[in-house]
Amino acid sequence: MLFLLILVMLAGGICALLAERVDARLPRWIALITIVIDAGLAATLGSTPLSPDALAALQGAPEPSAWLVVEQYAWVPRFGISLLLAVDGLGLLLLVLTLLLGAIAVLASWQEVTRRQGFFEANLLWTLGGVIGVFCALDLFAFFVFWEVMLVPMYFLIAIWGHEQRAYAAMKFFLFTQISGLLMLLAVVGLVWTHYAATGDWTFNYFALLGAAAGSPWAGWLMLGFLIAFLVKLPSVPFHSWLPDAHTQAPTAGSVLLAGILLKTGGYGLIRFVVPLFPDASVEFAFPAMLLGALSVVYGGVLAFAQDDFKRLVAYSSISHMGFVLLGVFAFNELALQGAIMQMVAHGLSTAALFMLAGALQHRLHTRDMSRMGGLWNQAPRMGVFALFFVVASLGMPGLGNFVGEFLVLLGAFQAQVALTVAAALGLVVAAVYALVLMQRAFYGPPGSAILGMADFDGRETGTMAAMVLGLLVLGVHPQPVFDLTAPMVRVLLATLGGTP
C-alpha cells in the first residue's frame, strides 16, 4: 500500500504531463484526482494486522507494535539495500498533512499558473511522491533516493514558474540542499561501514543500524552529517539563508509545499534518524542544538519584523516557528517532543495559508510590498477575516494548534534548559509584534495605491482557507488524538535515550 501511494503520485505526474496535449485544463484536474486517490488509499492504512513477512522486516525494532504498516521489497540484496517502507503514528500524521496541503497547493495554483500546466502539475505531484517516500522509507539508501527525488522537481517549480529572481533563488535552494544531502550520504555510508566492520553484514536497514554507532569514535561526526542535512531543511540558523529567497520567488503552490511539507522533513529527520541512530552523540549535542533553536526563534522573528515584502515576512516567521521544533526535539522529554510534533503540523497549516494569502494578493496586485497595500479589509473583507485568523494562529492564540505546540515545547524545554527556554519565549513577544504590524500595514489604514478594484476571495479560495481553519481549530481544541497517535513513537524514542529526562 505504501509503495502504491508513491507510484500513484509518480504515475499521476506522467498523466498530467501528457494530458496537456489534449486540453490545457486537464492537468490540474488530474493532479487533484491523483491526490484524492492517494488520500483514499491512505485512509486504509493500519486497518489490517501486520503479516508475518512484515513482522519479520521489523526484526530489531524496539517496539514492533508501534508500526502500523510495513512493506519490504528486494532491491540490491548484495549490498543489503531493500525498499523498506513503514509508517507509525508520526509517519501517518505527516502523510495526512502532505496529502491535504498537496490538494491545497493544486487549488492555489488553479488560476495562477497559465503556461506549461502539465509540466507544473507533474513536478508538483513528483515532489509529493518524493515527500511520501521520505516519510515512509526506512532503508537509508532508499531514504536518500527519495530525499533527492523531492528536491529536483521543487527546483523546477521555483526556476520555471517563480518570480523575478527565480533563477537565483532556485539555484541557492538547490546548492544548499544538495551539499547538505551529500553530507548525509557520506554519513549513511560511514554508518553502514561501521556496522559492517562490527558484524560483517552489509545492510542499510534502519532497524539493523540502530545501535551500530554505539561506542564508535566516529559517532559524533556521523551524527553531524545527518544533523546538518536536516537543519538545512528545517531550516535553522545559520543554515537558513536559502529559505527567504526560495519562498519569496516561488509560485504560491511552491511556497505552500515548501512551508507546509518540505520543512517538516527536517523535523522528521531529527526525530526519526538523528536521535535514535545516535542517542549518545545527540545527548552530548543537546545544548548546542537547543541554543540554535532558541536563536532561530528570536532571530527569525526580528528579521520578520524588518520586512516590507509580505512573503519574505512570512518566510522569516517560518524560521522562528521551526526553531521551536529544534528546541523541543533536543529537550528529550515527552512534553517537548509532543509539542514539537504538534508544532510541525500546526505550522504546516497556518503558514501554508499565509503563503496562499500572499500569493493571492500578488496575483491580484502584482506586488508583495505592504507599503502599497493598506485598507484591504474594506476592499476584501473575506480575505481580511482569514488573514486575521491565521496571523493570530501563527503568533500562538490559545485554542488553536500553534498554541498547543509552542506551549508544550516551552513547558518541556524549561525542564531541560531554563535560560534557553526563557530566551525562546521572547520570540513569542516578537511574533506578536510582526504579526500585528502585518495586519496593520496590509489590511488597515488608508487604502494603498495598488488595491483599487481588487477582487475578494472566490469560492475556491474561501473553501481551501476554511479547511485549514477547521484543521487548526480541531488541533487546538481537541489535540489528544494526535498525542495518542504519536505516543508509542515518543516512548520508544525516550527509551532509546535511556530515560533521559
Q: pLDDT tens, 342-378?
A: 999 999 999 999 999 988 888 888 888 888 887 888 8
How high is the pLDDT of residue 93?
95
Of all residues in the chain, the percent with pLDDT exceeding 90 is 63
Is residue 340 very low, low, confident or very high in pLDDT (cuts 50, 70, 90)? very high
Element (H, E) at 487: helix 480-496
Single-letter code of the amino acid located at 438: L
> CA 347, CA 257: separation in Å to the nearest integer?
12
Does residue 498 carry a pLDDT above 80? no
How high is the pLDDT of residue 56?
77
What are the C-alpha distances in Å from 492 to residues 289, 296, 301? 21, 28, 33
Residues composing the chain? 501
Backbone angles phi, psi at 112, to 5 degrees: -75, -40
Of all residues in the chain, the percent with pLDDT exceeding 70 is 98
Is residue 452 very low, low, confident or very high in pLDDT (cuts 50, 70, 90)? low
Mean confidence (pLDDT) of the chain:
90
Q: What nine digits make up the cell of 438?
A: 502585518
Q: What is the pLDDT of residues 216-256, one digit of tens each?
A: 888 899 999 999 999 999 999 899 889 999 988 999 899 99
Q: What is the pLDDT of residues 95-149, one digit of tens each?
A: 999 999 999 999 988 878 778 888 999 999 999 999 999 999 999 999 999 999 9
Does residue 412 carry a pLDDT above 50? yes
How high is the pLDDT of residue 500?
41
Over residues 314-331, the mean pLDDT reads 93
CA proximity to 346, closest of 386, 314, 393, 312: 393
> CA 401, CA 420: separation in Å to the nearest integer?
23
Does residue 405 carry a pLDDT above 50? yes
CB 11 within 8 A of CB 31: no
> CA 6, CA 232: separation in Å to the nearest integer?
25
Q: What is the pLDDT of residues 137-195, one digit of tens each?
A: 999 999 999 999 999 999 999 999 988 888 999 999 999 999 999 999 999 999 999 99
Is residue 435 very low, low, confident or very high in pLDDT (cuts 50, 70, 90)? confident
Q: What nine digits make up the cell of 425?
A: 519565549
How high is the pLDDT of residue 113?
79
Over residues 52-64, the mean pLDDT reads 78
More confident residue, 340 or 458: 340
CA-based torsion, 242, 17, 352, 164: positive or negative: positive
Is residue 279 very low, low, confident or very high in pLDDT (cuts 50, 70, 90)? very high
CA proximity to 161, closest of 92, 246, 68, 236: 246
More confident residue, 57 or 286: 286
Q: What is the pLDDT of residues 80-96, one digit of tens each?
A: 899 999 999 999 999 99
How high is the pLDDT of residue 488?
92
Instruction: Annotate 46-111 with three-state secondary structure.
Output: CCCCCCHHHHHHCCCCCCHHHEEEEEEEEEEHHHCEEEEEEEEHHHHHHHHHHHHHHHHHHHHCCC
Is residue 450 very low, low, confident or very high in pLDDT (cuts 50, 70, 90)? low
Residue with cell 485568523: 389
Contacts of 207 (CB under 8 A, 6+ apart): 58, 59, 60, 61, 138
Does residue 382 carry a pLDDT above 50? yes
How high is the pLDDT of residue 136?
94
Q: What is the pLDDT of residues 193-205, one digit of tens each?
A: 999 988 889 999 9
> CA 139, CA 80: separation in Å to the nearest integer?
9
How high is the pLDDT of residue 449?
62
How high is the pLDDT of residue 32?
94
CB 437 within 8 A of CB 304: no
